[in-house]
Structure 1
Amino acid sequence: MQTSTKYKLYVTSAALAVGCTVSYMIYKRRKRRRDAAELFDYLTINTVTTEQTCDQVVAELKRRCQKHRALGFDCEWVTEKGKRQPVALVQLSSYDGYCGLFRLNAMETLPESLKDLLEDETIYKVGVAPADDGKYLCFDYSVMMKSTLDVRHLAELGGFEAGGLATLSSALLGAVLDKSWRIRCSDWEAKELTKSQVKYAAIDAHVAIRIFAMLLEQLGSKRTVLSWLFGTNGTSVWSHLDDYCSMYADVHYKMKPVKLKDGSKEKHSKTREPAVLSKRYTHSTRTKPLYNNCYLEAPDGELLCTCDQKKAYWFVNKELADVMKEDPLTVRLRFEPAGRSMGDVGRYYQLKKENKCVVCGSTNSYIRKNVVPREYRKLFPEIMKEHSSHDVVLLCTSCHQQSNMRDLAMRGRLADLCDAPLATGVRNGSSKFLEDAVSKKIKSAARALRHQCDKLPEARRKELEDILLQHYPEHDEITEELLEEASNITVLYENSEYESHGAKVVDYFLNHEGLLRLEEMWREHFLSSMKPRFMPELWSVKHNEERLRVKWNEGRLSQEHLKSIGLTTL
């Protein structure tokens, strides 16, 4: 038998042995499930209500998580009349059971030590849907969380069915969590938390880090077996933590039902979706090159810029230019352009652009990213909208999602600075549309009577009919025409006092620091939050200022232009 064949048999046998061992361990846990409160009675729980205590607990958490570089993470809040209130409690737990319960509602401000920990990208914050909790912390406290990790990614990677925290805890740890609505929906803003609340909150965070560690150890065991078989130096999984986790950092895990051929929805699939998507326009993932790097020349042959093929042929088809070369496509204008490339700001447009993610370098697929979001740029004067391609870069799907998540913190800071509330319902901001509670009640009653009348108890049906007859006193009885009219009653109406977040931010900078500064802040935010390694050469934070200064020196910029961007001089 050949050596390679023996190795294959060894590998197969070892992999089967590891799989059987892990399966047996999980089977044993399932057979002897225990109450989580009993199983994790060793927890050291610290309830934090002051900044001084916060600093001490954060320091201890950092010390204890040096090996795993991860903390169990969860948040709690109160919902009143269907509206989520600001996050009241942040739970963090180390693997060895040291838990910090940070009562944000009891503190005047979010302590810097806690903010720094949550924004530390070297420490993973693990749980089920932690990115969603991070989004709420961003809205409520302007925390730009980094390195959240949904343990369901690792569960799927390890071949397990990815359920909620309670399901994973029961299946993998043999621990049964208390998920009754009485504790989940209790008052997390109470002056004092009950013992049940404290225990529940700490266990949720601790279970997350235990599941994370168990799944990583299992994935690492396969690597160790292979290293032993082939004589390589086997190292701990914790030495290669980022190999397993970095690709899932700040990436949502979403289960979607998949329709089978028979129409059922028994299977599920994982999808990764950007955290912030327009309701009208979805982001389009590109697999074809965005940059064709065609050349556009002035009449004397001087290179003006690179452009895409469509734009190049537009000039040709309009008889405004001639094709000088097919490969690479080079088009020469028949007219003198308004301006020519000057200095580095001009050279930027002459350089070839690479079709890859500017953050990680991926070339498989990419999405356009507006470094300065459209909700602000669309309100800029025309003089600043020219050459906006400078602020359009390519990101892969994962990096695009992370960037959108981290943009929320920047929006939050602008909201506070410019007194421009985000229309999210959680920052007490104004809304473009207001809801008429009475009309909503009438519409709901009419629809229930139209579609569920036969299933309603007699008392409930009578109650709904009374609601309608009180609103329509001219009617003596419920008719089909009345139900149809009430079902289509207007519930939302436009708020005449509404002013969009984007408009208020642009107006603030127009009257204070100038719109160039707003642009620069978004560019600085992108560089600091994403740390891109493959940005185009000569890409500059002050690009527009440099471009406008060239125009000013050439006499192509007036005082009215400067006034329109909030400046008096350049």
Structure 2
Amino acid sequence: MRTISQKLILFLSKNQKLKYFFNTSILLLVFYWIYKNVLIKKNKNKNNNHDDHVNQKIQNIQENQKTTTQNIQNKRNEDTTTTKNYFKLSNDIKIHVLSTPEECDLILNEFYQSLLLKMVDDKNSPPMIDGADGVIINQQQTTTELLLFPNCNEINNDGLDFIIGFDAEWGNPNSIFDDKIDDKTTKTHYNHKVALIQLSSKNETFLIQVSQMEKIPISLEQILTDPRLIKVGVAVSQDAATIFQTFSVVTKGYVDLVPIARLTNYEGNGLASLALNVMNVTLNKSNKIRCGHWENKKLSNDQIHYAAADAWVGREIFEIMFNTYKNSKTDPNDKKDLVYTLCRQFTGASFKSINKLKNRENNNNGNNNDNTNNKPIKENMLKKTVPDKRVLYDNCLMYSPDDVLLSSISKKKVEWYVSRQLADIIKEEPLSIKLKFQPHGEGHSGDQFYLASKENICVVCGSTHKILRHSMVPHCYRQYLPEEIKSHSSHDVILVCCDCHAILDKKNQIMKMIISQQYNVPIDNENKQFITDHTLLKITQIASIVKNNFYSTGNNNNISEDNLIKGNKKCKKNIPDEKLEEMKKIVMEYIGKEEINVEDLDEILKLNPKQKNENYIPHEKKVIDKVLAMGEKGIFEFIRSWRKNFVESVQPKFLPEHWSIDKVVCCDNGHRKPKDQRQKQIQNQE
């Protein structure tokens, strides 16, 4: 063996190439052995560990997916069935699901009439049915009283019987659902925005499926438009707006619970949070039910209980918060008509700051410290211009030579007659004068409203601070009425304080939209009132820039030192001289001169690019033209609608005696009365 090795070494030493090949082969064999026995085993172990990690991770993901799927399934099962943790209406509360107008009128009309009976103060006074509207009224009540919030007494549970839970559910306008008619399934498109309207009293809830009706039933419209019935809920203003957009029915007397909750120190911005904090109950707000198909012809049991609970709980929350508010009052006089006092300040309003609510509450309690920082700018400016104590009614009396009371006048008018020796003072208290001549007309003789004494207080809240005259028919409409209607007619001009005036301005904007729809006259855009000359507008802008930088052009030969305008240095830096020269040439071309001076620029700046459109007819004039075309009846109905809007909006408690919504609009400038009426007044005075 040794001999062979020696021979091999000797052979390789003689052949260098073969020796190199042999050594290389040995190295390759060594590397191959190392790779196979060391590296491969190591990588194999590493890959095995990695595969185990990946498998473990996949297994964990699969387990998590199973857990998530199980949780979702459990959640769905909880949503579809009312668990004991969710609030459920008592069996004593009756739920009415009304899907046809006939069924709705039958049930709701009975409910509405029962509420009207509770509005009668005198238990022995028999009610009377108004044939025109089918409404129960008291024979001694006037139309004005029928719109005012009734007195709270034991008959109506201190006014709580007039509190109605209110809510609405919306459907998808683009939804298509199956409708089975005579065993035939057809595809029906839903065209309404409001699908369901919920109303609730203490013991009953009404679910009206308006999606199945062409229009809102009469009984439902009566309840929604009656300002004496307070509809409470959360975000009710949005529901009311959607009902108006869908059915053109104006919901009146709605109150949001959130500002009342802040006033009574309860937390919550939604119905569910208020129910939890006020009633300590949990409402089922499952998305599957809440965002379900409310436009379906047949509602599921879960939908019925969900909708009924929302309306009933809203009313119950109000009653609890009202009792809290009532207990905070120590003066028995403050507890009179407390439901009205609480609701009036929040009707149709939305407040975001608890400080504003408490400030308003303090003002109602007699603290007249004005927190002007919390008031709108317009209201603050109005308060600054209106004196604190004003006497707008002097209640002076004027008699004719034959002792007929003609009218109630001001002290200024008394001084005018006496200073010209046209009348003599016949009484000091109240200050009365007697004319020395026979007037052409008989004034307001026989009209109890104009002859009665009037108080200098706000007719809404009774305040005596910063009162001013307010026209029920806004000036924008009133200015186009005939002069014989406006002159010597103060029936529709009443006294209000600045706060109530601001509220009325907002309410009038809503009424203006209703008038626009009623008379089919759209509200105009301000741009239509004026015609803009865009070329002149551009020239005036350029002239203004040139004037402020004129000295920088270097051409001041025609300008004296007194007429030089000290340029705006900031503008001078931003506008190059070359650009100013171009602007100057544009102005010179416009006026047709080779040179310009400051006077020329001033003349250009005096020009108004906006000119009044001579063909423009304001929205208000178009409305009044249509009203006048209807004759005296049209004028009366127009003015009456604004009177009704005033009463329904602010529920005034201090209206002058003999004021009436149905007061006839006098179109006779002389205000003459029949002779028999004059003789009757003389006999009464005797």
When normalised by structure 1's length, the TM-score is 0.53
- Per-residue deviation, 1:346: 8.5
- CA 1:311–1:138 in 2, change beyond 3 Å: closer, same or farther? farther
What residue number does 1:159 align with? 265
User: How far is the alpha carbon of 1:209 from its aligned partner?
Assistant: 1.8
Q: Distance in 1 between matches of 2:657 and 2:113?
A: 40
Could you say which residue in structure 2 is the equivalent of 1:288? 389
How do residues 222-301 of structure 1 correspond to structure 2 at under 5 angstroms?
242-249=337-344, 251-257=347-353, 269=357, 284=382, 287-293=388-394
In structure 1, the partner of 2:88 is 41
1:291 Cα offset (Å): 0.7
CA separation of 1:87 and 1:393: change in aligned 2, threshold 3 A: farther
- Are 1:93 and 2:200 matched, yes or no? yes
Q: Does 1:517 align with 2:636?
A: yes
Matching of residues 212-231 of structure 1 within 5 Å? 212-218=318-324
Map of 1:54 onto structure 2: 104
Deviation at 1:534, TM superposition (A): 4.7
The structure-2 alpha-carbon separation of the partners of 1:140 and 1:431, relative to structure 1 and needing over 3 Å to count, comes to farther
For the structure 1 residues 546 and 188, does the alpha-carbon distance in structure 2 shift closer, same or farther, using more than 3 Å as the test? same
Q: Deviations over 1:425-454 (max 9, x none)?
A: xxxxx86779xxxxxxxxxxxxxxxxxxxx
How far residue 348 of structure 1 moved from its aligned partner, in angstroms, is 6.4
2:479 equivalent to 1:378:
yes
In structure 2, C-alpha distance between the alignment counterparts of 1:88 and 1:368, rounded to whole Å: 43
SS of match in other structure, 2:277? helix
Asked if residue 390 in structure 1 is aligned to residue 491 in structure 2, the reply is yes
Q: Distance in 2 between matches of 1:381 and 1:291?
A: 25
Deviation at 1:380, TM superposition (A): 1.9
**Structure 1 portions without partners, runs of 5+:** 1-33, 233-239, 259-266, 274-278, 424-429, 435-493, 554-570
Q: Please, which of 188, 206, 214 is the counterpart of residue 108 of structure 1?
A: 214
User: Deviations for 1:21-51, whole angstroms, at most 9, x for unmatched residues?
Assistant: xxxxxxxxxxxxx999642234765443311
The AA in structure 2 aligned to 1:522 is S
Alignment of 1:348-427 (within 5 A): 352-358=453-459, 361-363=462-464, 366=467, 368-387=469-488, 389-395=490-496, 414-415=515-516, 417-420=518-521, 423=523
In the alignment, structure 1 residue 508 sits paired with structure 2 residue 609: no
CA RMSD of aligned residues (A): 5.9
Measure, in 2, the Cα distance between the counterparts of 1:356 and 1:172.
Answer: 38
Instruction: Pick the aligned partner of 1:118 from 212, 224, 231.
Output: 224
1:467-486 matches, cutoff 5 A: none
Deviation track 1:130-183 (CA, whole Å, cap 9, x = no partner) reads: 456446545654645454343345534543346332331221223345668887
Deviation at 1:208, TM superposition (A): 0.8
Flag the 1:127–1:198 CA change in 2: closer, same or farther, 3 A: same
> Quick one: which amino acid aligns to residue 165 of structure 2?
G
Pair 1:545-2:666 in alignment:
yes
- Cα distance change of structure 1 residues 182 and 241 upon mapping to structure 2, 3 Å threshold: farther
CA contact (8 A) 2:254 2:348 kept: no
> Counterpart of 1:243 in structure 2: which amino acid?
L
Q: Distance in 2 between matches of 1:72 and 1:205?
A: 5
Using a 3 Å threshold, how does the CA distance of structure 1 residues 172 and 433 change in structure 2: closer, same or farther?
Answer: farther
In structure 2, what is the equivalent of residue 203 of structure 1? 309
1:312–1:543: structure 2 CA closer, same or farther, 3 Å change rule? farther
Distance 1:74 1:361 in 2: 33
Q: Is the 8 A contact 2:396 2:432 kept in 1?
A: yes
Contact 1:142 / 1:409 at 8 angstroms: preserved in 2?
no
Q: Which amino acid aligns with 1:74?
A: D
**Aligned-residue offset at 1:93:** 2.6
**AA matched with 1:207:** V
Distance 1:172 1:542, change over 3 A: closer
SS of 1:255's equivalent in the other structure is coil
Distance in 1 (CA, whole Å) between partners of 2:461 and 2:315 is: 27
Residue 272 of structure 1: how far off its partner (Å): 6.6
Counterpart code for 1:545: C
Q: Is the partner of 1:502 in helix, strand or coil?
A: helix
Number of residue pairs matched by the alignment: 421
Instruction: Give me the TM-score of the superposition, normalised by structure 2.
Output: 0.46
| Cα distance between partner residues in 2 of 1:294 and 1:241 | 30
C-alpha distance in 1, partners of 2:379/2:360?
Answer: 14
Contact 1:362 / 1:396 at 8 angstroms: preserved in 2? yes
Q: 1:520 to 1:197 in 2, by over 3 A?
A: same
Structure 1 residue 196 displacement after superposition: 6.5
**Structure 1 position 311, deviation (Å):** 8.9
Name the CA distance, whole Å, in 1 between partners of 2:659 and 2:356. 43
Query: Residue 499 and residue 343 in structure 1: after superposition, are their counterparts in 2 closer, same or farther (change >3 A)?
Result: closer
Larger Rg: 2
Deviations for 1:259-287, whole angstroms, at most 9, x for unmatched residues? xxxxxxxx6645779xxxxx996594664
Match of 1:71 among 164, 169, 172: 164
Distance 1:431 1:219 in 2: 45
Q: Offset of 1:106 from its aligned partner?
A: 2.9
**8 A Cα contact 1:251 1:401, kept in partner:** no
Flag structure 2 segments of 5+ consecutive residues without an equivalent: 1-77, 116-155, 175-191, 362-375, 529-611, 675-686
Question: Separation in 2 of the partners of 1:141 and 1:369?
Answer: 32
TM-aligned CA deviation for residue 111 of structure 1: 1.1
**Cα shift at 1:248:** 1.6
* 1:393 CA displacement: 0.7
Output the CA distance in 2 between the equivalents of 1:520 and 1:281: 27
Supply the distance in 1 between the matched residues of 2:299 and 2:653 (Cα, whole angstroms). Answer: 46
| SS state at 1:211 partner | helix
Call closer, same or farther: CA 1:270–1:505 in 2, change over 3 Å.
farther
Conserved 8 A contact 1:253-1:272: no
Q: Is the 8 A contact 1:322 1:331 kept in 2?
A: no
Question: 1:360 deviation in Å?
Answer: 6.2
Percentage of identical aligned residues: 29
Q: How does 1:181-192 map to 2 (within 5 A)?
A: none
**Secondary structure of residue in 2 paired with 1:548:** coil
Contact 1:348 1:538 in 2 (8 A): yes
